[in-house]
Structure 1
Amino acid sequence: MSTYPSHRFAVAPMMDWTDRHCRFLHRQLTREALLYTEMVVADGIIHGDRERLIGYDACEHPVALQVGGSEPDKLAEAVRIASDFGYDEINLNVGCPSDRVQSGAFGACLMREPDLVARCVAAMKAVASVPVTVKCRIGVDEQDPEVALSDLAGAVANAGVDAIWVHARKAWLEGLSPKENRDIPPLDYDRVYRLKQDYPNLFIGINGGVTDLNQAVEHLNHVDGVMLGRAAYHNASLLGGVDRQIYGMDVADTDWAAVCAAMMAHAEKHLVAGGRVVHVTRHMVGLFQGVRGARRFRQILSADAVRPGAGPEVIAAAFDAIDFSDLTAAA
């Protein structure tokens, strides 16, 4: 039986999006969801600015570090280093289809090398004090997903993986851009459901094309966890329902005044450290879709936050534009 924690809901790792400021925002909206970093390559962790690359705010827990790489020794060293940062999980990327990842011979192209992935997982497990997981696709290019996903799952299960998160699409490394790979290959949720049937004692989570919490609840009838990516980013307000709808917790509606205050304080801290307020506000633009005042909210964050000398007051002004009675009525 898997000892992986009950992470029934996660926000997917997304390059250029799920940085520390994004995760800080998301944590104001849900206490329970597992949050993921952007993918960080093992070489970067070993040789780069570690605080910049993998530092985070303590409020982000539970938070998982996603690592990219294909060399077991380097991945093990990256895990050793990351252990000092106190992440709740280390995840190996076996699903990203970007050109950068392909040129480094890792990400989705590792679907073709399940034995290598297993060696990577074993090396990471040998030095990790927290769960080691894999995020993958159902296959790449001309692979048969029935065979490809089974081969990968069997290999990493034997290596002791703690969970497998599956983006329920193939990745086409030839002919499709990374953006197209998020939409064009057809979704095959049933393939992931069958994987769960094959591995009843291993945590299997599903990702890809899930747009709201009602869909997430339906998937949880078949698998152990659901991961939202773009929907959680572009319409982050939906995360306010996660603790109640996914985890069954008796929690109050989102306190938007508290969210505003927290984001202002976070922005001020970032400014003092030499950053810019837009680094924080760019992740907030997707809040309040369909709510009166949302257009003005977006305008303020998009225009005013980039001006020289912009400070946390931009966030207050944006929140002042929102008609919160719409949100109260919706709840």
Structure 2
Amino acid sequence: MEKYFSNVETPKVSIAPMVDKTHRHFRYFSRILTKDALLYTEMITAQSIIHGDRDKILSFRKEEGPVALQIAASNPEDAYKAVKLSNDYGYSEINLNCGCPSDRVSGNLMGAALMSSKDLVYEILCAMKEATNKPITIKHRIGIDGTGVLDNTSNKIIMEGYNDLLDFLNTISKAKPDRYTIHARSAILKGLSPKDNREIPPLDYNMVYNLKKEFDYLNIEINGGFKTIESIKDALTKVDGVMIGRAAYEDCYLLANFYKLYNGNENIKPISRGDAIKAYIPYIIEELENGNSVHSLVSPLHSLFQGQKGSKKYKQLLSSSNVKKDSILDILNTILETMPEDILWN
């Protein structure tokens, strides 16, 4: 394994790049809830950056920062161009996606499918490093299996276990990525949907923990299934950082409690749900005036009262049938006036 001591700090917690979830409205509201997490863009293909409307695709407000850009690429040439073009947009680091299992992505030799081509991943990482002075990181699975992806020599399925993961990392480590974010599930590229790939392949935290124990100089962040502050705290005793995924939008107020991950912050009072809504209202007004969708603006709020009394009423008020451009401010003011005060303001 290439020995490389990165001087890039790994945040204790980050929020995973998620398609149709981690858009800029989500990030803006997330930053109201927490200053302690690294936020990510959605996965953006290199081709989109090269040929698309870059300002629309890459621009974000400084209030969202720090934000990491995640790209998907199938060759070093496109990766180099995309990173080079993104240099002026203020991202704190740039991440290569080697974990997405969707057919559309893997069919174009991007995402998790890249794990079957370790030399290509190495070349892509090298090209990204050449294109920027910003940290270059990688997000990948513990393996790909059950896929019919075969080694041409042995005619056996590749990437099945710890030794295969070591083999993959031994090659890509020569490119000296600044962080390895490892989703502790294998990806099954044929026969499972992306949703099923988040649930059916079993989590194997120990594979990631053993990797950190064996190669303590690697900068390792773990991803997969973390939904509580307690589970994040436990993982942080074994690895450098924890990335959360679905929990960030299924129970978004979890983000307000990230301060508990830092020693000495026990007496800090997190922002209340009511104050978070109040802080978000000016943003909604401005973005609506700019012609943005009211439903995409409201989507980050949906789980704010998850598991709390009044949750059912809250969800009804924010239902898609109720939310309209002309009514959203009245709805939010109704929420601030009628939701249980002990939940709203404490």
**TM norm structure 2:** 0.90
2:194 maps to which of 160, 178, 181: 178
Q: 2:295 corresponds to which residue?
A: 278
Q: 2:11 corresponds to which residue?
A: 7
| Deviation of 1:99 (Å) | 1.2
Q: Which deviates more from structure 2 when the two are superposed, residues 236-245 or residues 183-192?
A: 236-245
4+ runs deviating over 4 angstroms? none
**Is 1:316 matched up with 2:333?**
yes
**Is 1:93 matched up with 2:107?**
no
CA contact (8 A) 2:273 2:343 kept: no
**Is 1:119 matched up with 2:117?**
no
**In 2 relative to 1, CA 224–5 (structure 1 residues): closer, same or farther, beyond 3 Å?**
same
Q: 1:148 corresponds to which residue?
A: 164
2:247 maps to which of 215, 220, 231: 231
**Is 1:253 matched up with 2:257?**
no
CA offset digits 1:21-60 (Å, max 9, x no partner): 0111111111010011110000001111112212211111
| Deviation of 1:328 (Å) | 6.6
Q: Give the whole-Å Cα distance in 2 for the aligned partners of 1:304 and 1:314.
A: 12
**In 2 relative to 1, CA 309–84 (structure 1 residues): closer, same or farther, beyond 3 Å?**
same
RMSD: 1.7
CA contact (8 A) 2:272 2:345 kept: no
Gaps spanning 5+ residues in structure 1: where?
none
| Deviation of 1:327 (Å) | 6.5
**Is 1:187 matched up with 2:203?**
yes
1:83 maps to which of 83, 87, 92: 87
> Number of matched residues?
329
Q: 1:207 corresponds to which residue?
A: 223
* Matched letter for residue 190 of structure 1: N
Q: Which deviates more from structure 2 when the two are superposed, residues 318-327 or residues 16-25?
A: 318-327
CA contact (8 A) 1:19 1:37 kept: yes
CA contact (8 A) 1:138 1:168 kept: yes
* Matched letter for residue 309 of structure 1: D
1:216 maps to which of 224, 232, 242: 232
Q: Give the whole-Å Cα distance in 2 for the aligned partners of 1:222 and 1:94.
A: 23
Q: Which deviates more from structure 2 when the two are superposed, residues 169-178 or residues 140-149?
A: 140-149
Q: Which deviates more from structure 2 when the two are superposed, residues 171-180 or residues 252-261?
A: 252-261
* Matched letter for residue 270 of structure 1: E
* Matched letter for residue 228 of structure 1: I
Q: Give the whole-Å Cα distance in 2 for the aligned partners of 1:72 and 1:51.
A: 23
CA contact (8 A) 2:273 2:304 kept: no
| Deviation of 1:255 (Å) | 3.6
* Matched letter for residue 265 of structure 1: P
* Matched letter for residue 225 of structure 2: G
Where 2:259 maps in the other structure, the secondary structure is: helix
* Identity over aligned pairs, percent: 39
Where 2:319 maps in the other structure, the secondary structure is: helix
Q: Give the whole-Å Cα distance in 1 for the aligned partners of 2:285 and 2:234.
A: 40
Where 1:38 maps in the other structure, the secondary structure is: strand
CA contact (8 A) 2:274 2:344 kept: no
Q: Give the whole-Å Cα distance in 2 for the aligned partners of 1:227 and 1:169.
A: 13
Q: 1:66 corresponds to which residue?
A: 70
**TM norm structure 1:** 0.94
